[in-house]
Structure 1
């Protein structure tokens, strides 16, 4: 499956957040992703886009608001995305699968923070619903509002006034909340003693979606270094690809040992066909560069993986008991540890590179 994902990252200007978004993309084979509240200034946008690589294409809503509240990214080699409309709270597009050629409409939402400012959101989505008509339509993102009176714990009680507009919109257009697994309360704030958790991130489908995608389930993943859970959705067929390409960290090219490694491996005597000799030398280079990388950054990746796994375990336990003060305290500590190692690694990469 090719996966879609929406995530309120709470700031891409933190190098640790960039690393975690890239890890999310790679771990779950995501080909379409919407990021909210990036906090990236327009003049810095291109610099941060480059961090995700040249295989991604992006649409943002800077034309409607500052700070890039919504970023929509996709890999054109897997899907074709035609952006239909961009507003303060919604980017609406049509996605066509390369494998099947079947299109569907997709709206990514980042709702504003009050009932009154979200009224324009329901109007925009209503207009989109009218234009979509009976075609397949998926809506996902951070709506910043609950849908049910039970969608908040440890905070003030949810009122009918808070949920009425959202509930009316869902009913009026025959939308369905997609079945989900993972975290129910997908956003949290506060410390150990006054923590509040809510379900304000949603994934909805119209009747055509629910009829044609009956087996699709959304997964609310662990929030990692954000305070929101990413919403992961698998809905498009994928094609099995070939082997992994030969890659190395570009900063190694500046290392004083790099050229001698290349020259020694390439001048080594290898018996066999021309293609076998090329393959053998590349394999030797790969092994040598891996050793060089391990010498320069011994243990950092292991520490990152360990910290990430520790945080994952704690956040998984919080799915079942978000009121556990001990777990909340452990989560805070694990987030701090993961950020520390991610920032150390990012600093080392910047130091070693001149690109």
Structure 2
């Protein structure tokens, strides 16, 4: 346990999950108090004689309320006293056997209803050893067809609507200890829902070297303070399909500009850009348009006569058409942002694409950058400056 104590101290960890401790229940209090004397602790000895999962936290910083526990997970509502964090954390240590592991997937499916927690409105983080992997490249060695365990794990991830938190460090997080023919796998991961990516949009996880363990420890960073930045100009398909698109582009392009050919070209492009930005503002927020159209239809239908009149039927059809149009535009936008293949999932498409957008942004975001001197920069301003300096040194400056 000296390694764990040193790890918590070195990485300044205030909330942790320990798995597979091999500590007997009667020794739990003594060992845990030695690891982190100021921590409060939870365990699952009531569900497994080995107490396979421990949760520890600095009680001066965190408030933790247990939602549900089993032999394979501890799920808690976690809040910081300063109000900077309020989320659900599920620490997982899945069974090795695929059949035994199914109880965990069922528990996770039912967590929201049984625990009385709305996991769509709260950030949710699932972390630990899942004892299963999601893709062939997450395991070395020969694979024998489609693995049932992999398929069931993948189905659970899709049903829960969670994705891997952006990570750095070790890809394979476990090895079997075999020196001559080692087997490496990605069994440990941190999964988060869309709300987590919305609230903690700069969060990430680092998988560190294994040390004395056969697993890589993971350290989650909630992120640095947000810096307001100007997003690059983008044209989305719903704007191209607008009835005034070609007219707006033509009017902006036809304006007379005096000067060299290059100056005229760049000036016209800027003019088109500003005109399309204005058109985009006129189109408005597509998500709000959908919500408003849905509410209008619901309000109208709730006041319909038992036998609707002809005029009411006409009005209802108009409202349905309005909602359908809004949903189509929103779907077009989200599909383009998510950059994934179309899936025929009916009315649930937009939520699926919205989560995909969040997941893609989480994967692509750049949270730190190391310069030529080995200094790691984490703010948006320093990262952009370092990138510009690197490419300036690489290609030079144009006269």
TM-score higher than 0.5: yes
Query: Distance in 1 between the 2:42 and 2:124 partners?
Result: 19
Match of 2:83 in 1: 100
Report what 2:15 is aligned to: 32
Q: Do the aligned partners of 2:162 and 2:194 also contact (CA within 8 Å) in 1?
A: yes
Q: 2:66 aligns with which of 64, 77, 83?
A: 83
1:210 to 187, 190, 197: 197
Find the aligned partners of 1:161 and 1:154 in 2 and give their Cα distance.
17
The unaligned stretches of length 5 or more in structure 2 are 226-399
- What SS does the aligned partner of 2:136 have? coil
Matches within 5 A, 1:117-136: 117-130=100-113, 131-134=117-120, 135-136=122-123
1:160 aligns with 2:147: yes
Corresponding residue to 1:230 among 196, 217, 239? 217
State the number of aligned residues: 221
- How big is each residue's C-alpha offset from its partner over 1:290-320, in whole Å with a ceiling of 9 and x where there is no partner? xxxxxxxxxxxxxxxxxxxxxxxxxxxxxxx
What's the CA shift for 1:102?
Answer: 3.8
* Structure 1 residue 171 corresponds to structure 2 residue 158: yes
Give the structure, 1 or 2, with the largest relative contact order (CA under 8 Å, sep 6 or more): 1
> What secondary structure is seen at the aligned counterpart in 2 of 1:116?
helix
Query: 1:273-312 maps to which residues of 2 (within 5 A)?
Result: none
The answer for the alignment partner of 1:197 in structure 2 is 184
Matched, 1:113 2:96: yes
Alpha carbons of 1:175 and 1:48: their partners in 2 closer, same or farther (altered >3 Å)?
same
Aligned counterpart, 2:43:
60
Deviations 1:236-294 (A, max 9, x none): 789xxxxxxxxxxxxxxxxxxxxxxxxxxxxxxxxxxxxxxxxxxxxxxxxxxxxxxxx
In the TM superposition, residue 84 of structure 1 has moved relative to its aligned partner by: 1.3
Q: TM-score, normalised by structure 2?
A: 0.53
Structure 1-normalised TM-score? 0.60
SS at match of 2:76: strand
After TM superposition, give the deviation of residue 231 of structure 1 in Å: 1.1
Q: List runs of 5+ in structure 1 lacking aligned partners.
A: 1-17, 239-355
Q: Structure 1, residues 141-200: CA drift from partner, whole Å, max 9, x if none?
A: 000000112110135457331211111111112111111100000000133211110001
Structure 2 vs 1, CA of residues 28 and 216 (structure 1 numbering), >3 Å: closer, same or farther?
A: same
Whole-angstrom distance in 1 between the partners of 2:130 and 2:216 = 13
Larger Rg: 2
| Cα shift readout 1:209-255 (whole Å, capped 9, x = no counterpart) | 112222111100111000000111012789xxxxxxxxxxxxxxxxx
CA RMSD of aligned residues (A): 1.8
Q: Structure 2 CA distance, aligned partners of 1:52 and 1:158?
A: 44
Between Structure 1 and Structure 2, the one with more helix by share is 2
SS at match of 1:117: helix
Partner in structure 2 of residue 188 of structure 1: 175
Confirm or deny: 8 A CA contact 1:155 1:197 kept in the other structure. Answer: no
Tell me if structure 1 keeps the 8 A contact 2:41–2:56: yes
CA distance in structure 2 between the aligned counterparts of 1:67 and 1:194, rounded to whole angstroms: 30
